[in-house]
Amino acid sequence: MKDLIAQSLKYQDGKVQVLDQYLLPHQEVWHVCQTVSEMQSLINNLQVRGAPLIGLAATLLVAYLAEQGASQQVLCKAIDELEATRPTAVNLKHCMDRLRGVVHDVQYVAHIVGVAEHLFEEDIALCARIAQHGVALVDAGDNILTHCNTGALATAGIGTALGVIYQAMQRHGDIHVWVDETRPLLQGGRLTAYELARWQIPYTLLCDSMAASLMAAGKVDKIFVGADRVAANGDFANKVGTYNLAVLAHFHQVPFYVVAPKTTFDPNCASGQDIEIEQRSAREVTGVSGSFGECQWAPSQAKVYNPAFDVTPAKLVTGWVFDSGVYHTPHFHIL
């Protein structure tokens, strides 16, 4: 397999390597991943994260295993186990389905490697097209609110929602971003702030609960968020807290856009009610941890509700930005 290099994932010198996003922004540590169990752990612990990137990381590992001489039976088991790692984001399933389509071929090693290389390069191209379409929605001087992290850390390319913002900054030069902290895992505070600082895009960090007062004060011009799965009717799942923003945006008449590649669209999912929502550990809510250490503030026996995602209904969406264009109604021509 040829070298494939992105911001937080690379195949280089015959090794699958991932940037540990759990340790960002204070430590930049790369892990070499050689087994299914290692990749499962990296994904479950959010060391590898972002719907497109999760699918690509798993795909590169399967290709690596194929090149190392793994049998078709072993590869089929690896594909199934990796797909089961996280249920909500559909990109992982799409990638694993692509591998299933070639794993039984006579020349399965070459075909698996070909799929891995194609998916990686395709994601870069998809992100570029998303940004080209989405930038038309941004005006000079806009104050844009975003949630979670949707940049180059979460994809092989420039990102999805954050890629649009990056492209807008290149075009206009005077964009400002409001960055939701994104509780409970702080992807906005840790990762989006990190990326915007590197890109030299002005930003202001806020707690999730502060977004309402910003909108009420007229300080938010538009909202751009990513997605982990877009249903056929336009409902979509994204990092928990996105639905809150959509409701607030609707009340305050702030345009609300969801940005995603075609690999995040699931035509077999009729509506948001059919999206399985991952429930995560109580420890993520009772305290906080990261490169800075750990702290628990809640009583040790506190009961916790911790869905990783929520579902936003299509009726709250101003527009869907895909690599194929901008849609103002959920009648998509994605493929």
Q: Would you list which residues are annotated within the binding site? A: 49-51, 86, 187, 238-239
Count of residues making up the chain: 335
Which of these, 55, 58, 52, 50, lies nearest to 33 by C-alpha position? 58
CA-angle at 296, arms to 294 and 301, nearest 5°: 140
- The residue annotated as part of the active site, out of 142, 180, 228, 235, is 228
Let me know if 228 is a catalytic residue: yes
Are β-strands 265-266 and 229-231 bridged in parallel, bridged antiparallel, or unpaired?
Answer: parallel
CA-angle at 87, arms to 258 and 259, nearest 5°: 10
Nearest-angstrom CA–CA distance, 69 and 44: 26
Nearest-angstrom CA–CA distance, 12 and 96: 22
- Provide the β-strand partners of residue 288: 295
Annotated binding site for substrate: which residue ranges? 49-51, 86, 187, 238-239
The residues near 97 (Cβ < 8 Å, ≥ 6 apart) are none
**Residue 269, helix vs strand vs coil:** coil
- Provide the β-strand partners of residue 178: 145, 204
Residues recognised as catalytic: 228
